[in-house]
Amino acid sequence: MNEKTKKELIKRFKALGWRCGMMFVAGGIDIVLNNLAGFNMPNGATIVIGLILGEISKWVNNYVIELKAKKVELTKLQEKE
């Protein structure tokens, strides 16, 4: 397996981890709400909320990566001056 493939595979596993984490968060929120207030959220709603949280975390992760890339680029430009 070449280096590029390894990096891509690691990137995919990290994304899967974030998505699974967000599904666990949504499930945890559902359990807490059910226990505290008797708020019976349907399973479908929990899944949809988990998917939405997964997309939000993906957006935040991409945004942070872009900011880091811009910071590195800016640092390189400043070093050249």
Could you read off the pLDDT of 30-73 as tens digits, one per residue? 777 777 666 666 777 777 877 888 888 888 888 888 888 888 88
pLDDT recorded at residue 10? 86
Residue 28 has pLDDT above 70, yes or no: yes
Residue 11 has pLDDT above 80, yes or no: yes
pLDDT recorded at residue 36? 67
Residue 80 has pLDDT above 80, yes or no: no
To the question of pTM greater than 0.85 for the whole model, the response is no
- HEC profile of the chain: CCHHHHHHHHHHHHHHHHHHHHHHHHHHHHHHHHHHHCCCCCHHHHHHHHHHHHHHHHHHHHHHHHHHHHHHHHHHHHHHC
